[in-house]
Structure 1
């Protein structure tokens, strides 16, 4: 049966059933058989809410790179679709941040911050990140000695990510818990099918993020220094004569970058431990070859990326893999399915650190103009932490099943118990 024919006979409600399975505990623990079922329905799979799920690596890669045909969900699109889901305050705010902008607005905003994580900046951050990793692992070790096990996600992954952002942007340490909790609430606005209660939570998180980071930008405006936020304020003063508008632009940048890091990097760090625990042969090989940590990080990014689904809309009527797509119609690039596409990767469901070209074979950081601007920092954090774990905890193992938030688009651990016994 031809691909286009396969897609026309799919019952969209069967997709809802599969997505529902992704939300339960079993689906969260191992979502990839479910994504495989969706991918086997075709490259373009209809969903009952009027969108299309894109499952192949080739199509996802093409869409993410083509910002002319496939657009981010900007303010203009959200205004045209201002129903309950897309008219929620937390959702409309996302149309103004970097990930929701299209050229020329995206070009202006992206250029305003420059190459924020170039080699020089990363090397300046490295020493602080290495010492932070050691400190957090000291805390983990002490907790394991006291109680027999400890929560790696809470004590290490979450703390390491907010500490990296906090140090870079100058966020007071006393505010880390607040910022993290607000970000975790706001992320529901980016879920595939958020419930009304999740949207209400997202609205509260968004208002809190706006209040906190608006005040932070105001404080840097009143007391400028040589920090990152003060530098962005000076840049935007040359781009925008209205100081209130300039400060709002800086707020949107800071809020987006912090939120994006807290909702992706912390999951990646926990994924390193969980994935290696589930593949003891690979773990033993890495312990014997610690210089291969960068390859291990890339394979974890391919095997279980922190972001499973991203969304675009069609700029005009078109046809994709034989399926008509109407202007303004939503498409969801299912990165979790694409990263396991056998047309792209041999034996994709096998976790193999020694896989050749691993860094070229995943879409964990997206693509095109919206390629993750923090990819370099995320990789460095992951490599620093995994190197330290391999060196200090050769017998670390997951002591009881992890727990995940009931999400489809953005993975998030709520517990990852570990021990060294």
Structure 2
């Protein structure tokens, strides 16, 4: 059976709905070893095992040191170089330095101060939904992508007039993160998107050095804490992640509420439950489903050997449905307590924007339901095919 797990996940049915595969994996314990010659040494999916590997210093992200062991050809690809310079794939002292720089901007205290701005943008976008007069609108385009894009845009200092150009480039760039093989065509398109995004932020950094404004890019441009390539790479990745993952949180969350009327009724009756609702959305249908780590020495996970240099596929979304950790894990229950999920990862690569994403989700869902007490799906959403950034491309909703 172990030879088919990756094939099942990457099949059309697995991409459409991976949760049945996750459930079968749990029947085989917290970790399954894969045969020699497989892309990964093991799949880690149990809640405790996932937490251990994500925090284990003997397991690293696929950093430059790892990639260079196979070939240095990756250095010719701007998209891959951008990821390697960023928080996503950096490690050690470089990672710690970058996290300190961006952590100050996205910590809980700073995010609390941003809540009036998030509320203002949310209410403006809700006004735009009301303009449709109850006709079907695509929630993803009209709200879910716009809110986090405008929020992270204001934090960084990306002018509003420029934000509409980002979604297509970001989707193209993010394709290199997907589970499974990527085509040369996809890689070349991602390289082009990376060059365009890097060029844009280079121009914005130069402009802020010449004329600083009250935004994060002005602060970073005046600092020498990060080298220019690292600064630009992290601006690209932080902006991308700042709206793609939160957009999926909002879309996944609204779809769950619309298909679980009791949960929608509970949130409508008590907006203060929005925080627990967001945590359950993150557990039940997270925007990101997996991570990959490699072993820096011969080791094991729950008795499964992982030789030095081999990778493990970490299914964080499967860990969020582990029946040994969560009662009735396949039930969407916003009243769930002790909801310790891995939607934001754990360890050195815990999401630096977690507090901001949670705040946006809480404010947006509570105010949306207060403004439109009886939203309804206008059409079934299309199938989803991605694991790294899992969300709806379209979500047609009537807001009444």
What TM-score do the two structures reach when normalised by structure 2? 0.93
For 1:15-414, list aligned pairs within 5 A: 15-22=6-13, 27=16, 30-45=17-32, 46=34, 48-66=38-56, 68-82=57-71, 88-145=77-134, 148-196=135-183, 197-236=185-224, 239=225, 246-358=227-339, 361-404=340-383, 406-414=385-393
For 2:132 and 2:383, the matched residues in 1 are separated by 22
Q: Distance in 1 between matches of 2:292 and 2:239?
A: 20
Q: Unpaired runs of 5+ in structure 2?
A: none
Change (3 A) 1:83 1:397: farther
Asked whether the equivalents of residues 188 and 201 of structure 1 are also in contact (C-alpha less than 8 Å), the reply is no
Distance across 1 between alignment mates of 2:312 and 2:97: 26
In 1, Cα distance between equivalents of 2:76 and 2:254: 39
Query: What CA distance in whole angstroms lies between the structure 1 residues aligned with 2:13 and 2:29?
Result: 19
Q: Distance in 2 between matches of 1:115 and 1:89?
A: 28
SS at match of 2:131: helix
Q: CA RMSD in A?
A: 2.1
CA deviations on 1:126-182 (whole Å, 9 max, x unpaired) are 22211111111111122253xx21111110000001000111111011111212221
Q: CA deviation at 1:119?
A: 4.1
- Can you list the C-alpha shifts for 1:110-132, whole angstroms capped at 9, x where unaligned? 22334222344223322221111
Query: Contact 2:374/2:399 (CA < 8 Å) preserved in 1?
Result: yes
For residues 210-248 of structure 1, what are the alpha-carbon distances to aligned partners after superposition, in whole Å with 9 as ceiling and x for unaligned? Answer: 121122222222223442112123332xx46xxxxx332
Q: Which runs of 5+ in 1 are unaligned?
A: 1-9, 241-245
User: Residue 13 of structure 1 corresponds to which residue in structure 2?
Assistant: 4
CA–CA separation in structure 2 for the residues paired with 1:135 and 1:408: 31
CA distance in 2: counterparts of 1:83 and 1:231, whole angstroms:
34
Distance 1:285 1:87, change over 3 A: same
Q: 2:377 & 2:84 partners in 1: Cα distance?
A: 39
- Does the CA-based 8 Å contact 2:40-2:312 persist in structure 1? no
- Would the aligned equivalents of 1:309 and 1:409 in 2 still touch at CA under 8 Å? yes
Q: What is the alpha-carbon distance in structure 1 between the residues aligned to residue 114 and residue 386 of structure 2? A: 32
